[in-house]
Amino acid sequence: MIQESSLRRLGAVCACAALIGSAASAAPQTAADAVNPQNWPQAHSRGLVNAATEARIDQLLARLSLEEKVGQIIQTDIGAIVPEDLRRYPLGSILAGGGSGPNGDERAPANAWLRWSRMLRAVSLEPRPGHTPVPLLFGIDAVHGHNNVFGAVIYPHNIGLGAAHDPELVRRIGAATAAAVAATGIDWTFAPTLAVPQDVRWGRSYEGFAQDPTLVREYARAAVEGLQGPPELAGKVQSGKVAATAKHFVGDGGTADGVDQGDTQVAENELIRLHAQGYVSAIDAGVLTVMASYSSWRGQKMHGNRQLLTDVLKGRMGFEGFVIGDWDGHAQLPGCRSDRCPQAINAGVDMFMAPYHWKELYDNTLAAARSGEIPASRLNDAVRRILRVKFRLGLFETARPYEGRMELLNSSENRSLAREAVRRSLVLLKNGGALPIRASARVLVTGPGADSIPMQCGGWCVTWQGNDTSNADFPGAQSVGAAIKQAVESGGGRVVDDSDLSGENRPDVAVVVYGEQPYAETHGDLQFALFNVGEPLTQLKRLQRAGIPTVSVFLSGRPLWLRPQLDASDAFVAAWLPGTEGGGIADVLIGDAAGRPRHDFSGRLSFDWPNGSYPTGTTRAGEVRGDSWPAGFGLRYAPRAQ
C-alpha cells in the first residue's frame, strides 16, 4: 500500500501534469487580464439568423412587456417551481438538474417527464389577459444518453468516446440521444462538454473527450450535428432534434491543479490554442447555446467576463445563439448573490440558471431593467437570442411527433449502438497472452465492478453523483460479469467462483473488474491521480500466486497511476465509464470457443496514462512523463496495419 508520506513526496517531486498536475503553479492573479479579440479564431453561427425569423422576432419583441422580457432570461429548476408559478412569473425556461425529477422523483417513469414538460409548456402558451404566449424551453443534462431518465440506455462517458477516435460514432450517439430527449418533451441538452482537461485530478475529466484540442474540435462538430441536425437542415424537435450546449466557456479544463470551478491561469494564446478550439467548430455547426463556465480566467470569473463572453464569443467568434449561465454560477461574481446579479447579464450571460431564490432574482432583475442598470438594448438582445433559439427549434409549432415515443429511450437499436460504442472505447494497455479468452474456458469474474451498473455508469446517471443507485435503477442494463457469463456459456465454457483455485473448478483465467466509485463535478477532484484501493490488488496477487492468468478491467473516469495493479495483471483493459451495455466488453474479451477474437480492440488513449515505476525522491520532473503510455497508444490482437 502506498503510504501518505510517499504521496506527499510524489506531490513534491513529480511534475507530470497527467499524474499530479503542476503542484507549483503560479499564484492566482486577482486583476482581470486584457483580452485581444483579434487574436481569437473567427467562426460563423450557421443556420441561426435569417430575415424571415428575425422579422417574426421583431414582432414578438414589440408585444412583450418588460416583465415578460425579464421572465425570458430566467430559468429555474423543476424542483423549485410548480406550473402555477408560471402565471405570476413568466419564465422563459426550465431545467431538470442532475438531482431533479418530476414530482421530486429522480426515478419517475418516462411518461411522468412528458406529463411535466407538457404541463409547464401549456401554462406558458395559455391565452390569458396581459400574457403573450411564448413556449417554454426545457433543458436537461443528457450528457451520455438521456441519463437522468429511469430506464434509458446509457452510452460511455465522453472520455471513452474520445478513445474511439471516431466522430461518426459521436454523431450517431448525438442523434439517438436527441430523439430520446424529444420523446420526453424536452427541447435542450446541456451537452457536449468541450473541456480539454489538462490535469486529470479534475473531477470532470471524464466529461472531456481528450487532452488534445484537435480531437475535441473534430468531435464538437459531430456532437452538435448529431443532436441538432446539420445546420442547413435546421433540425427541430419535429424531427427529433434538440438544442445542444457547448460548455463550459471557456477554460474549464485548464484550472490550476485540476480544481473544479478553479482558476485557469494560462496566457491568452494558450487559452485560445487549448481551450477554445471546440467552440470554433461548434459555432460553425450552428450550436444554439453556450454555457458560461464556473471557472475563472486569470482571477476573473467567466460569468462576469464581458470581454470573453461578449467581445470574443459573440463578437469575434460570431455566436448568434444565447449564453446560459451555469447552476447558480452568477452568485459567484463579486457583488452578486443568487437573487441579484445584473453584472452577469451585462457581461453577456443571456439567461440565468437560477435554481435558488429565482422569484427574488426575477424581482431584482426587473428593477435593474427598469432603472436602466441593465440597458434596454442588452435585455432586448438577450431576449432576441432566446427567441431565435425557440423559433429555430420549432417550439412555436404545435406538432411534436416525437413526444411519447418512449421506445427511443431503450430500443434494441440504441442498445446495440451503445454496445458498439463500448467495444470501440476499450483500450488494451497490456496483454501477455491472457486475452482473448476462449469461450469454452472456465472463467472467474470477480472484483467490486463485476456486477455494478453504478460503477459502469459513473456520475450523471439517474442521479447527479450516481453513487446512490443500485442495479435495480437500470432495468435492461447488463453488467460486465453478466455479459461475460453469457458469452462464455454460449461458447461451451462456464463461469466459476474463486472457492477452488486448484481443483476441477480451477479457473483457466480470471477477470477482475474494479475502479473508481461514481462521482460528479467537485466531488471527483483528487489531490493525487493514483488508484489506491487495496482489495483488487490483493485479489490479483492471490490469483497470480495460484498461477491463474489475470485480466484487469478498469472502470474509471480518467487515467490513474496504478503500477502495482498493472504488475499483478497479465492483461489490462481501460474500460472508462461504459454505461449500461457491459456486453461490449465481453464482445472483445471473449473470443470464440477456439479462442479466436470475435472483435479486436480498436480504442486508443485520448489522454496520457502514467505507467512508470513509483517515483523516488530523486526523480526529476520529465522522467515521469516519459514513463507513460502516450495519448494514441492502444494494443490490438492483430498487428496494426502499417
User: Residue 581, SS3?
Assistant: strand
- Assess whether 521 carries a catalytic annotation: yes
Q: C-alpha grid cell for residue 518? A: 461514481
Judged on CB neighbours under 10 Å (0-12, 13-18, 19+), 93 is buried
Residue 102 as a binder of ligand BGC (CB under 6 A): the answer is no
Task: Show contacts with ligand BGC in window 224-253 (CB under 6 A).
Answer: 247
Task: Show contacts with ligand BGC in window 568-607 (CB under 6 A).
Answer: none
CB of 91 to ligand BGC, least distance (A): 16
Give 277 or 289: the residue with its C-beta nearer to ligand BGC.
289
d(CA 159, CA 151): 23
> Quick one: which segment of 49-57, 98-106, 301-309, 493-501 binds ligand BGC (CB under 6 A)?
98-106
Please answer whether residues 16 and 628 qualify as being in contact, where contact means their C-beta atoms are separated by less than 8 angstroms.
Answer: yes
Give 189 or 478: the residue with its C-beta nearer to ligand BGC.
189
d(CA 23, CA 584): 38
- CA dist 157 → 318, 364, 472 (Å): 29, 39, 21
CB of 140 to ligand BGC, least distance (A): 8
- Assess whether 268 carries a catalytic annotation: no
Residue 278 as a binder of ligand BGC (CB under 6 A): the answer is no
Please answer whether residues 128 and 87 qualify as being in contact, where contact means their C-beta atoms are separated by less than 8 angstroms.
Answer: yes
Identify the residue among 47, 90, 98, 481 touching ligand BGC (CB under 6 A).
98
CB of 152 to ligand BGC, least distance (A): 16
> Quick one: which segment of 95-103, 163-171, 451-459, 587-595 binds ligand BGC (CB under 6 A)?
95-103
Query: Which is the catalytic residue, given 141, 257, 284, 326?
Result: 326
Show the binding pattern over residues 284-303: x = contacts ligand BGC (CB under 6 A), - = does not: --------------------
Residue 464 as a binder of ligand BGC (CB under 6 A): the answer is yes
Residue 326 as a binder of ligand BGC (CB under 6 A): the answer is yes
- Per-residue burial over 251-287, b = 16 or more CB atoms within 10 Å of its CB, e = otherwise: bbbbbbbbbbbbbbbbebeebbebbbbbbbbbbbbbb
> Which residue of this chain has its Cβ atom nearest to ligand BGC in the complex?
97
What is the DSSP track for 380-400? HHHHHHHHHHHHHTTTTS---
Report how far Cα 632 is from the mean position of its chain's Cα atoms: 21
Q: C-alpha grid cell for residue 291? A: 454555457
Identify the residue among 113, 116, 155, 190 touching ligand BGC (CB under 6 A).
190
Q: How many residues bind ligand BGC (CB under 6 A)?
A: 11
Query: Which is the catalytic residue, given 218, 320, 328, 521?
Result: 521
Judged on CB neighbours under 10 Å (0-12, 13-18, 19+), 37 is middle
Long-range contacts of 503-508 (CB under 8 A, 24+ apart): 505/442, 506/442, 506/546, 506/548, 507/442, 507/443, 507/444, 507/543, 507/548, 508/437, 508/438, 508/441, 508/442, 508/443, 508/548, 508/549
CB of 641 to ligand BGC, least distance (A): 39
Task: Show contacts with ligand BGC in window 139-158 (CB under 6 A).
Answer: 141
Strands 188-189 and 137-140: parallel
> Quick one: which segment of 53-61, 96-104, 230-238, 496-504 binds ligand BGC (CB under 6 A)?
96-104
Residue 524 as a binder of ligand BGC (CB under 6 A): the answer is no
Identify the residue among 97, 160, 491, 515 touching ligand BGC (CB under 6 A).
97
Residue 554 as a binder of ligand BGC (CB under 6 A): the answer is no
> Quick one: which segment of 97-105, 339-347, 446-454, 609-617 binds ligand BGC (CB under 6 A)?
97-105
- CA dist 537 → 408, 454, 543, 552 (Å): 41, 21, 10, 10
> Quick one: which segment of 93-101, 407-415, 424-432, 485-493 binds ligand BGC (CB under 6 A)?
93-101
CB of 525 to ligand BGC, least distance (A): 13
Give 68 or 252: the residue with its C-beta nearer to ligand BGC.
252
d(CA 361, CA 452): 42
Q: C-alpha grid cell for residue 337? A: 448573490
CB of 188 to ligand BGC, least distance (A): 11
Residue 99 as a binder of ligand BGC (CB under 6 A): the answer is yes
Residue written as cell 459521436?
170
Maximum separation of any 2 CA atoms in the chain, in Å: 84
Give 205 or 602: the residue with its C-beta nearer to ligand BGC.
205
Residue 322 as a binder of ligand BGC (CB under 6 A): the answer is no
Please answer whether residues 550 and 544 qualify as being in contact, where contact means their C-beta atoms are separated by less than 8 angstroms.
Answer: yes
Give 268 or 521: the residue with its C-beta nearer to ligand BGC.
521
Give 247 or 303: the residue with its C-beta nearer to ligand BGC.
247
User: Residue 529, SS3?
Assistant: coil
Backbone angles phi, psi at 264, to 5 degrees: -95, 115
What is the DSSP track for 335-388? T-BTTB-HHHHHHT--BEE--SSHHHHHHHHHHHHHHTSS-HHHHHHHHHHHHH
Give 262 or 591: the residue with its C-beta nearer to ligand BGC.
262
CB of 4 to ligand BGC, least distance (A): 30
Position 22, amino acid: S
Give 521 or 587: the residue with its C-beta nearer to ligand BGC.
521
Task: Show contacts with ligand BGC in window 123-142 (CB under 6 A).
Answer: 141
> Quick one: which segment of 92-100, 363-371, 543-551, 594-602 binds ligand BGC (CB under 6 A)?
92-100
Give 118 or 523: the residue with its C-beta nearer to ligand BGC.
523
Residue written as cell 489522454?
607
CB of 542 to ligand BGC, least distance (A): 41
**DSSP code, position 451:** T
Identify the residue among 202, 249, 327, 391 touching ligand BGC (CB under 6 A).
327
Give 330 or 423: the residue with its C-beta nearer to ligand BGC.
330
CB of 198 to ligand BGC, least distance (A): 18
Q: Catalogue the active-site residues.
A: 326, 521
Interaction site with ligand BGC (CB under 6 A): 97-100, 141, 190, 247, 326-327, 464, 521
